[in-house]
Amino acid sequence: MLTIRCAKCGRKLFRYLKIGKGELHICIKSRIEKDFTVRDGKFVKCPRCGSVVGVDIGVYIKMKKGRFVSSGTKVNK
């Protein structure tokens, strides 16, 4: 499980089940265990500082590079 945080203020954004070794570019909604973000239309924002961290595309959230940091473990398949 990965913990994804805001790069600006460090607030927790998601707990996310990442499958595969690659870099995180998108968050598939069905794999988000906990969602702490707020929405402004299709924009996904940090609940503390309001930084836009991604864009809601429907079944997934396209994450903005450099706006978030992640830590934890990925599931290798």
Q: Give me the least distance between CB of 56 and Zn ion, in Å please.
A: 17
3-state secondary structure 46-66: CCCCCCEEEEECCCEEEECCC
Which among 6-14, 35-43, 54-62, 63-71 is the span making contact with Zn ion, rule CB under 5 A? Answer: 6-14
H or E, element range at 6: strand 2-6
List binders of Zn ion among 46-65 (CB under 5 A): 46, 48-49, 51
List binders of Zn ion among 13-42 (CB under 5 A): none
Q: Give me the least distance between CB of 15 and Zn ion, in Å please.
A: 16
Q: What are phi and psi of 22, to 5 degrees?
A: -65, 175
